[in-house]
Structure 1
Amino acid sequence: MTQVDVTRARLLGAVPHGFLGRRGGVSEGVLAGLNVGLGSEDEPAVVSENRRRAAEAVLPGAALTTVYQVHSPDVVIADHAWPDADRPHADALVTNRPGLLLGIVTADCVPVLFADAAAGVVGAAHAGWKGAIAGVTDNSIAAMESLGADRSRIVAAIGPCIARASYEVSDAFVKTFDDADPANERFFTAGRAGHHQFDIEAYVVARLAAAAITQVEALGLDTYADADRFYSYRRSCHRGEPGYGRQISLIGLPG
């Protein structure tokens, strides 16, 4: 059995966490590996087993809880693990409850894990471009503060996501970011006619810095370029595949 692939961030230290890839699961076909997507074209029992393996690889015995992600800036405070069918619609969650393991699923979007170890508060955010520009990371920080965290102590780590070299966008897409803030021009480089390459990882880093998060670690892992290790929505589309898997990023507090 292939071992679950867990990448950890130096800044998060001893806080139980991990950015997982596609290795170590039981899904087959184009979804082969550790597909944890409840909305994917995969057998529910297979996804459930993959999610169990993922949780055990990061914080054995913890209760995994996730949200129904909708590319929003919305954050919820988790005080228990919701049944999968009752997941709140949001794109980030925070907690100060020991024994809870927060999970965010991605397939090119930016996963961000947060921790204030001194306060015992952690968070996880799914920052697709819509959520990122609307402030999902800012809202995650504010929600952590409501539980007693201090942003001067909060550290953040950014896991596997699509890289600039792999993320081609249109002129209209660039205009959305330019209209929000002309300084966003620095996250785009010229590509083929009418197109640009977007560095969404750098954009999220900048949003965190603007929110006074002084310790940020970006792992620089490109989901699109590494098919053996990560799922990628865009790569699956380009290949004409019938579906795509999702990987999970996890953080929690020991029980």
Structure 2
Amino acid sequence: MNFKRLFRKKSQNREFDVYIENKNLDEGNNKIQKGESFNSNQKSDATTLHFHYLKLIDIYVKEQKEDEIIKICKKDINLYPKFQEEQIIKDKNRLQEMIKIYKKLGKSTDKFETELASYIFHPPNVPSFSRLIGIYEKNNNLQETIDIYKKAISFNLAGYKESLAMLYFKLPEPLKKVVDNEFDINHELTQLNNELNKIKIFVFENPGINKSNLLSGLVKQFHWYQHKAQSYIDLALLSKIIFQEKQGRFYKHYTTKE
């Protein structure tokens, strides 16, 4: 199976090309899960397949095929344990190779030996998790969203506890109890509440501030990215920490209902 040429195929029938690509990737995934190899470099099977999945997801995003995006994201997430295993082996092999090279050069290998002895895997960004979470949340499939968070957090992927804390405010009480029972995000919730309290104080000090000035003021004062500041404003409104009232063409903000 020639994976290098898989995504270079050009044909008048694009649907057929994508079908073939998807079918071949499925065959590769099945072999990996069975402990077999599809790639000439047996040490990078899952890594190769993972990046091909990402390319295929990009194709479906451009074609706005949400069902197909969901399917490929699920396959990539299912592949992740194998991908992580390969990355750990690759990291350790690199350190061992550096130790050999430095020994030949007569240089100290202490740095690499210490790093190898205390090795901790730092997971890379895996877009399939966040993309699938985004789709599920958009479609209000909240239990499915929580399930993907559970997988991401179990793999120690960065940022997902913080994102789950953001979602927590939007959940109905039964699902909040599910999160309380299955996750430890008390630290993240405390931090988020502190951030929302900053918004409350800012609005209290600037009663009647309009939406644009509130957003730019928070970005300037707290050095938040605009997207982050907007997300916090939305949560503060949802949690009734601040209130919004339309006056003419503008939305004004207060800490109490006017």
TM-score, normalising length from structure 2?
A: 0.25
**Larger % of strand: which?**
1
TM-score, normalising length from structure 1?
A: 0.26
Return the index of the structure with the highest Cα Rg.
Answer: 2
**Larger % of helix: which?**
2
